[in-house]
């Protein structure tokens, strides 16, 4: 999955980070009432825990095997969810490699809590299910890719404060790149937005945080 295009992420950085925080705060107070709250403060190395737990808003995408990927797909296990596109020159392959490393570390520690890793493509124009399948399984056969039409993607990303934007550029042989948030969302087995990880990410810290969070949530 090599890509020789020049990296271009200039308009992501501070604007997207601030927008993500604003989106989260708006979601806290303007969306549905919380189902539950975190009972006590848990010390984490990298994860930021949400003080109030709310289920994700209804959404419906397709996974890389052509099956429906929606709220029901999140139940019964934890979900690490990242957002990007397969033609991404830097952030996405770095994140997927980090997931692979984290996955290996969790297996080495015999983590007993079931989880899945999902990569959501925000570039459905180019990321066909076939390409998405090739991309995610390259990093690990158990990883899931998901995407859908723009309106369907917005149903998932907007309430989470995840921003992305198509940017036309002469620097890319593909004609455009997708600027997007690099944050990772953690959804609990009840389908609730439980925590998120802001960059820069660290596989070992994420693995340790996940074990602590999942134990704490019992």
Residue 151, Cβ density class (10 Å: 0-12 exposed, 13-18 middle, ≥19 buried) = exposed
- Tell me how far apart the alpha carbons of residues 214 and 105 are, in angstroms, rounded to a whole number: 15
What pLDDT score was predicted for residue 128?
A: 96
- Token pair, residue 6, equals 């020049």
| pLDDT tens digits, one per residue of 110-136 | 777 899 999 999 999 999 999 999 999
Give the residues across from 61 on adjacent strands: 69
Write down the pTM of the prediction.
Answer: 0.83
| DSSP, residue by residue, 125-138 | TT--HHHHHHHHHH
Give me the phi and psi of 36, to 5 degrees please: -160, 170
Q: How many CB atoms lie within 10 A of CB 8?
A: 17
**Nearest to 195, CA basis, from 180, 179, 212, 178:** 212
User: Is 87 strand, coil or helix?
Assistant: coil
More confident residue, 52 or 148: 148
Q: Say whether 109 sits in a helix, a strand or coil.
A: coil
Model confidence at 38, in pLDDT bands (50, 70, 90)? low
Question: In the prediction, which pLDDT does 175 show?
Answer: 82
CA distance 44 to 202: 13
User: Any idea which architecture 13-216 has in CATH?
Assistant: 3-Layer(aba) Sandwich (3.40)
Q: Which two tokens stand for residue 209?
A: 């945080």
Question: pLDDT per residue over 25-34, tens digit each?
Answer: 455 444 545 5
Q: Supply the mean pLDDT for the chain.
A: 85
- Closest to 187 in 3D by CA, of 50, 93, 66, 65: 50
């Amino acid at each position: 999955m090599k890509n020789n295009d020049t990296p271009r992420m200039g308009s992501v950085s501070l604007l997207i980070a601030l927008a993500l925080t604003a989106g989260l705060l708006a979601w806290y107070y303007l969306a549905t009432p919380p189902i539950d709250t975190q009972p006590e403060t848990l010390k984490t190395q990298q994860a930021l825990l949400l003080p109030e737990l709310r289920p994700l808003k209804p959404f419906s995408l397709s996974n890389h095997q052509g099956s429906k990927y929606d709220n029901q797909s999140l139940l019964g296990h934890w979900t690490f969810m990242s957002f990007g596109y397969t033609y991404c020159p830097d952030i996405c392959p770095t994140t997927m490699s980090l997931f692979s490393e984290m996955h290996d570390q969790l297996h080495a520690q015999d983590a007993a809590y079931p989880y899945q890793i999902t990569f959501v493509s925000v570039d459905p124009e180019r990321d066909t299910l076939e390409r998405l399948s090739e991309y995610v399984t390259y990093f690990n056969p158990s990883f899931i890719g998901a995407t859908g039409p723009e309106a369907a993607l917005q149903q998932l990303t907007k309430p989470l404060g995840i921003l992305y934007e198509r940017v036309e550029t002469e620097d890319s042989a593909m004609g455009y790149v997708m600027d997007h948030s690099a944050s990772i969302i953690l959804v609990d087995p009840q389908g609730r937005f439980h925590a998120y990880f802001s960059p820069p990410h660290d596989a070992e810290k994420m693995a340790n945080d996940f074990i602590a969070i999942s134990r704490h949530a019992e």
